[in-house]
């Protein structure tokens, strides 16, 4: 792996490539916050890494002041949670490149998806679609299985990445410990009219699931994982990324097929680094060739036209 940090970011977050409609924008950042548009609504959320002033043009200042909602972090001394300007927000529909999903403010400051991961969604669909097309045209490729690509989404949350894999032609296994997140994922699948395609949605502790898959002999061609810094499984299992990540990766290695397509690892933990994720990922894919790219998962800030890093990521592919 080369010691080079890459920026993973889309300059345009397009919902519809024909109409050019954008359902998400990072409007501004600064002073420990970020201002974002999610479809018809604008929200201010904590972003502790923003140690610079807000842009605060006259228009932006009004937008900050008139945001539909703001999430207060307990670190500010205020009561943690959402404070909405006018009303309670029911879920609303979002879209990225024809995949539709529901958004809604959650108690954990998120809105049901991570828009900066759109570059990964593109990568997933492009990689799987290329092999699916090649199989249909009967081209001979060394990594081409004679069956649908088996895609595994660990800590899958509400399933947007799974939907891009599903639409591309993969058989998807989607795992998360949260029953609420899995219900949301199923709703998103239905909203995108993909409910007839093969997606297993499994409520389970990820480590226990992988251990059982190894015993069953089940293998996967592509894996994406976004482990939280801290979490609990459905039976109270404790997850701490600094303790559990090595075990997670060792188990993932055992469920990879002998000619896998790609593996994506993302972390929002402030204690992680892109290079450390890359070194850890490289250890489990040394036998497969390809390359590991590491870097910052970013969103393009509209006010200053600059990349804002929101997570670290490592991507291996052939």
**Share above pLDDT 90 across residues of the chain, in percent, rounded to a whole number:** 75
- In three-state form (DSSP H/G/I as H, E/B as E, the rest C), the secondary structure along 237-271 is CEEEHHHHHHHHHHHHHHHECCCCCEEEEEECCCC
**Model confidence pLDDT, tens digit, residues 272-317:** 799 999 999 999 999 999 999 999 999 999 999 999 999 999 999 9
Listed residue (140, 172, 118) closest to 313, CA to CA: 118
d(CA 140, CA 154): 30
Asked if 10-103 and 116-317 have one fold, the answer is no
Sole residue written with tokens 């002999």: 217
Q: Which pLDDT score, from 0 to 100, does residue 271 have? A: 73
pLDDT on residue 243: 75
CATH code of the domain occupying 10-103: 2.60.40.1180
The whole-angstrom separation of Cα 131 and Cα 127 is 7
Q: Are strands 14-16 and 306-317 parallel, antiparallel or unpaired?
A: unpaired
Tens-digit pLDDT profile for residues 157-190: 999 999 999 999 999 999 999 999 999 999 999 9
- How does pLDDT run across 46-79, given as a tens digit for each residue? 999 999 999 989 999 999 999 999 999 876 667 8
**What is the H or E stretch that residue 124 is in?**
helix 118-136
User: What is 116-317's CATH topology?
Assistant: Rossmann fold (3.40.50)
pLDDT band at 21 (very low <50, low <70, confident <90, very high): low
Question: Cα–Cα distance between 24 and 42 in angstroms, integer?
Answer: 10
Domain segments of the chain as ranges: 10-103, 116-317
């Amino acid at each position: 792996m080369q010691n080079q940090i890459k920026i993973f970011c889309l300059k345009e977050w397009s919902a519809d490539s024909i109409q050019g409609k954008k359902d998400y924008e990072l409007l501004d950042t600064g002073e420990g916050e970020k201002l974002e548009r999610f479809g018809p609504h604008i929200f201010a959320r904590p972003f502790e890494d923003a140690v610079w002033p807000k842009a605060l043009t006259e228009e932006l200042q009004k937008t900050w002041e008139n945001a539909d909602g703001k999430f207060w972090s307990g670190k500010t001394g205020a009561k943690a949670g959402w404070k909405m300007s006018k009303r309670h927000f029911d879920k609303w529909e979002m879209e990225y490149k024809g995949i539709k999903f529901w958004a809604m403010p959650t108690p954990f400051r998120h809105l049901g998806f991570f828009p900066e991961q759109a570059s990964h969604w593109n990568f997933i669909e492009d990689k799987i679609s290329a092999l699916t097309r090649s199989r249909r045209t009967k081209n001979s490729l060394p990594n081409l299985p004679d069956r649908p690509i088996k895609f595994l989404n660990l800590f899958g949350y509400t399933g947007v990445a799974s939907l891009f894999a599903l639409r591309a032609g993969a058989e998807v296994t989607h795992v998360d410990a949260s029953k609420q997140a899995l219900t949301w994922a199923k709703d998103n699948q239905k909203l995108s009219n993909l409910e007839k395609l093969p997606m297993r949605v499994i409520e389970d502790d990820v480590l226990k699931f992988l251990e059982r898959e190894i015993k069953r002999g089940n293998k996967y061609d592509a894996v994406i994982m976004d482990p939280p810094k801290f979490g609990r499984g459905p039976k109270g299992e404790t997850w701490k990324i600094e303790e559990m990540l090595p075990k997670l990766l060792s188990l993932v290695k055992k469920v990879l097929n002998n000619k896998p397509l790609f593996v994506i690892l993302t972390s929002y933990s402030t204690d992680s680094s892109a290079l450390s994720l890359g070194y850890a990922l490289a250890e489990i894919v040394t036998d497969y060739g390809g390359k590991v790219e590491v870097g910052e998962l970013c969103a393009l800030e509209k006010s200053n036209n600059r990349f804002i890093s929101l997570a670290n990521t490592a991507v291996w592919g052939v």
